[in-house]
Amino acid sequence: MLNLIGKYIATIVLFTSVLIGSINFDIFGKPIAYYLNLQLILIYLFKISNPNLNFGRGIYLFLISIINDSLNGLLFGTSAILYFIVFGVAAFQSSIKLRSIFISEWISFGVSLIFSYPILFGLITFSGESVVISNISLNFIVTLITYPIFWFLISKLILQNVIR
Amino acid sequence: MKFASSENVDVKKNVFIFIIISLILFFIDRSDNKYFKIVRYSINDVIIYSSVAIKSPFNFIINQSSSIANFFKDKKNINENKVISLQNELQRIKNENTALQLQIENLKKITGEKNYKFKTLDVKVLMYKSNILHQTIIINKGSADGIKIGDPLIKNNILVGKVLKTNFNSSYGILITNINSRVPVKIGKKNYNAIVVGDPNREDRLNLEFLPKEFKFENEDYIYTTSIDNIMPDGILVGKIKFNEEKKYYAEPLYDFSQLDYLTVVRLNK
Given a cut of 80, is residue B100 above it in pLDDT? no
Alpha helices in B6-147 (DSSP H): 6-30, 34-71, 75-78, 80-109
CA nearest B171: which of B263, B41, B51? Answer: B41
Q: Does B73 touch chain A (CB under 8 A)?
A: no
Contacts of A139 in chain B (CB under 8 A): 132
Per CB-CB distance under 8 Å, the chain A contacts of B58 are 23
Q: Please report residues of A whose CB lies closer than 8 A to that of B11.
A: 54, 57-58, 91
Chain A residue nearest residue B178, CA to CA: A130
**Would you place residue B2 in the very low, low, confident or very high pLDDT band (cuts 50, 70, 90)?**
very low
Contact B16 A23 (CB under 8 A): no
d(CA B223, CA B234) in angstroms, rounded, equals 11
Q: Which of B7, B19, B203 sits opposite A52 (nearest CB)?
A: B7
Cα–Cα nearest to A7, from A43, A65, A54: A54
State mean pLDDT over B242-266.
81
Burial of A37 (0-12, 13-18, 19+ CB in 10 A): buried
Least confident interval from A137-141, B99-103, B134-138, B179-183: B99-103
ipTM over 0.90: no
Q: What is the pLDDT of residue B66?
A: 66
- pLDDT value of residue B218: 80
| pLDDT for the residue numbered A157 | 65
Q: Are B180 and A62 in contact (CB < 8 Å)? A: no
DSSP chain A: -HHHHHHTHHHHHHHHHHHHTTS--EETTEEHHHH--HHHHHHHHHHHH-TT--TTTTHHHHHHHHHHHHHHTPPTTHHHHHHHHHHHHHHHHHHH-SS--HHHHHHHHHHHHHHHHHHHHHHHHHTT----HHHHHHHHHHHHHTHHHHHIIIIIIISTTS--
Each residue of A40-99: pLDDT tens digit?
A: 999 998 888 887 787 888 889 999 999 999 888 888 999 999 999 999 999 888 888 767
Mean pLDDT for chain B overall? 79
pTM: 0.79
Say how far apart CA B70 and CA B80 lie, in whole Å.
10
Chain A residue nearest residue B4, CA to CA: A95
Which residue of chain B has the CA closest to A135? B132
Strand, coil or helix: B174 = strand
pLDDT band per the 50, 70, 90 thresholds, residue B113: very low
